[in-house]
Amino acid sequence: METGEDRPPQKKRRRCYLILSVAVFLITAVVAVALGLALHQGTDHLKTTFISRCEKFKGYSCQKLWGAFEQAYVGRDPCKVPMEDYDPLIAAAPFKPACNRMMFWSKTKNVVHDFTEKRDCFVTLEDTLLGSVLNGLTWCGKEGSSETFTTGCPGWTDCENNTVRSFWNKASAAFADNACGDVTAMLNGSIATPFSPVSIFGSIEVKRFNSTRMTSLNVILVTQKDTGTNCTNASLKDLQKEMKKGIKYNCKEVTEAQIQECSSHPEKPCGACW
């Protein structure tokens, strides 16, 4: 049984409670401030990146483009942003036809962009204003929030209409709608199925090719040391069948080393790369 001497004095007990309450309050405040700063830093960083990349292209109001971009997803469930929600953004910075210079790709991103960075021969989606501005970025909104988030967003396969996936699907469709003249596609010859009907190239871009604008599709099958898949691959036969009447289909096997060698010699004509 406790004696009176065993109990802490009332003043001491109240002091302990007060210190504990203050500590809890301070910790809560610090966490809230940290979360708020992280949130704003995420938004500010994305906007800064967007604007700085946009300003490399002349003739556009980058602030207005940022507003059109935010309009598509801010305050929305990040899994409920369909492709059409980016229509105002695409309309504000429409893709321009680059006949005979448009390059599409699938599973060859690094090879393609290394080539287009060194040689001004072709234009990929990522070389356009919107493609360049948003390349490699992650963003989303949340219901009831006016903020932009750069972490905690759904991944590409988490839901069909997620914020990032819908943008790239819409941008790819709009880019392919402008395909004209002789069009090039760089595909991966080191995998079993260079042409996949469920890839963006197969499910969206190829289906938007229009024979009234396009003359031909020239497939560059990137191989390793003369080995790998060749142009007789069954999946490429499927791609050939996808071509609308009036669009010629060509395929050529080219080693990655040859493409790299050619990209290092800007004096060579583009057609000599393969």
Digit-coded pLDDT (tens) for 153-198 = 999 999 999 999 999 999 999 999 999 999 999 999 999 999 999 9
**What stretches of 103-223 show up as alpha helix (H) in DSSP?**
109-118, 129-134, 163-177, 200, 206-208
- Is residue 5 one of the residues assigned to a domain? no
- Is residue 256 one of the residues assigned to a domain? yes
10-residue stretch averages of pLDDT, the chain, 274 residues long: 47 54 46 42 82 96 98 97 98 96 97 92 96 97 95 95 98 98 97 96 97 97 84 96 94 94 83 79
Domain that holds residue 198: 17-273
* Mean pLDDT, all residues of the chain: 87
- For residues 78 and 142, the answer to whether their CB atoms sit within 8 Å is yes
**Domain count of the fold of the chain:** 1
User: pTM here?
Assistant: 0.83
The number of helices, as runs of H, and strands, as runs of E, in the chain is: 10, 4
Tokens 């948003």 locate to: 134
- Tokens standing for 37? 């700063």
- Is residue 241 one of the residues assigned to a domain? yes
- Is residue 235 one of the residues assigned to a domain? yes
- Is residue 166 one of the residues assigned to a domain? yes
115-141 pLDDT tens trace? 999 998 999 999 999 999 999 999 999
Long-range contacts from 232-239, C-beta under 8 angstroms, 24+ separation: 233/193, 233/194, 233/195, 234/193, 235/192, 235/193, 235/194, 235/195, 235/196, 236/187, 236/194, 236/195, 238/195, 238/197, 239/195, 239/202, 239/206
Q: Report in angstroms the alpha-carbon separations of 34 from 25, 39, 43, 145, 213.
A: 14, 9, 14, 18, 54
Q: Report in angstroms the alpha-carbon separations of 238 from 170, 176, 193, 213.
A: 24, 19, 10, 22
- Domain of residue 118, CATH code: 1.20.82.10
